[in-house]
A = this chain, B = another copy of it.
Amino acid sequence: MRVYNFNPGPSTLPTEVLEKVQAELLDYQGKGLSVMEMSHRSPEFSDILARAKQNLRDVMKINDNYEILFLQGGASLQFFMLPMNFLSPETKADYIDTGSWASKAVKEARPFGSINVIFSGKNENYSRIPSWNNLPFSDDALYCHITSNNTIYGTQYKDYGNPGGPKLVADMSSDIMTRSFDIEKFSMIYAGAQKNLGPSGVTLVIIRKDFAAKAKSDIPTLLQYKTHIEKDSLYNTPPTFAIYLVMCITEWAVKKGGIDALEKECRVKAGMVYETVDGTDFYIPTASKDSRSLTNITFRLKNEALEKIFIEEAKKEKLIGLKGHRSVGGIRVSNYSAMSLKGIQTLVDFMKDFEKRNT
């Protein structure tokens, strides 16, 4: 029996997608070989790549001003690839520090240009997202970097208002394909696939063409955005099987009804958990109410000694991966697109029952 998997990433994938992948693992569409064994330059893989891209455009409403790339190295590689491509000692970018990953992005960018951290939530234990109003944007920043959702702290931008600021670059690793956004507000979006898009090992980059045109060419070939745009993500051997999974999962997302349907379901599921947390003082939410994440819901138990027991007893109900990040403790419910309503209902029932048994 499959468990309800609340791991923050790598994380749960749709069972029906895994069943399809399983069925064709040794023989893709009667070709007599696995997708893993195919040349990345074969017509079959070209089709997989093209469909993955088109599905992403369809689901997230990405227009032709933007290129879609599949890279390797995770968000951590983008932390330095981005500034290496666009900054120099004479130029500047704004960064908003809303958590551990945002802070790593700042650290890796510093050697490449002038980095202006226009907000840091560090002294507030990263419990909130700043309001877009009154942020001290630089006049001459080439971009403003944000982390759209903070997996560890359970916070998330409610909108991308950004009045008066430069176009955004967002690390959307933990909430991409869970809610709609206006792509035109962004110069670039990147996301490790392993939360909402597929397995680990492939990184989605959505980059605005006129932004990419300003990228450097005097850096290692593999680290140039231009290389991957020119070669359509086939400069070197891409992670073919991971891209195939992205194709399958985005196909599933299309069938679900696209981003609006996914967002609606995500909000319903998150609402069920937050309602349970808010309806008692047995559970204590950790993120500011106005900054709560839809994809990573974090809370403590009033009696922190019970947290270990909560996690152990949840496992018996097939609810796994609920332990909060080691840097903050407590409980974390990762509510990605592939988490079923039934999984959330089972969790909420368990939470209520656990409370009853322990008060």
Q: Chain A: residues with CB nearer than 8 A to chain B?
A: 1-3, 5, 7-13, 15, 18-19, 21-22, 25-27, 31-34, 36-40, 42, 72-77, 79-80, 84, 104, 107-108, 111, 192, 194, 199-202, 220-223, 235-242, 245, 318, 320-321
Contacts and interface: CB of A to CB of B under 8 A. Distances in A.
Given A72-B72, A72-B74, A108-B220, 5 more contacts: A7-B38, A7-B39, A10-B37, A32-B318, A199-B239
Nearest to A338: B37
B25 A236 contact: no
A101 to B, nearest CB: 10
B10 A18 contact: no
Q: State the main secondary structure of chain A at its contact with B.
A: loop
A305 B50 CA distance: 33
Nearest to A78: B222
Contacts of A240: 10, 199-201
A303 to B, nearest CB: 26
A222 B13 contact: no
A50 to B, nearest CB: 18
Q: Most chain-B Cβ atoms within 10 A of its Cβ — which of A25, A221, A236?
A: A236
Nearest to A193: B237
Contact of A27 (B2, B25, B104, B202): B2
Contacts of A220: 79-80, 84, 108, 111
A128 B121 CA distance: 60
A37 B12 contact: yes
Contacts of A9: 39, 237
A141 B236 CA distance: 28
A40 B104 CA distance: 19
B3 A200 contact: no
Contacts of A77: 72-73, 222
Given A74-B237, A240-B10, A36 B199 contact: yes
Contacts of A7: 37-39, 42
Contacts of A235: 76
* Nearest 9 A/B pairs, CB to CB: A201-B239, A3-B32, A80-B220, A72-B72, A76-B236, A36-B199, A22-B25, A201-B201, A200-B237
